[in-house]
Amino acid sequence: MNEMLSSGIELMLLGMGMVYAFLAMLIVAINVMSKLVRRYFPEIPAKYPEQPIVAGNDKAVIAAITAAVHQYRKKHNNG
């Protein structure tokens, strides 16, 4: 019984060690790939900054939205 218990603990420690070794290699590989990508493919800044979308009081847009809401309510209130 004692031999089986020590064998089981040894197997458990070996398995856990392999899992931690694999995770450590995975972290190293991800860091190396990240550095390579940053070095050989740097981010290119945009030439023109994006124009912010400004919600104005465009009367045509407000009229179109009002008409669409009116049509929607007319269609769904009768059904």
**Domain residue spans of the chain:** 2-43+54-78
Q: Which residue has the tokens 């694999």?
A: 22
Distance CA 73, CA 65 (A): 12
Which one has a higher pLDDT value, 63 or 20?
A: 20
| pLDDT band with cut points at 50, 70 and 90 for residue 47 | confident
**What per-residue confidence (pLDDT) applies to 68?**
93
- Please state the rounded mean pLDDT for residues 20-32: 98
Tokens at residue 63, please?
A: 């009229």
The answer to whether residue 79 scores a pLDDT higher than 60 is no
Q: Which residue has the tokens 């392999």?
A: 18
**What per-residue confidence (pLDDT) applies to 43?**
83
The answer to whether residue 65 scores a pLDDT higher than 70 is yes
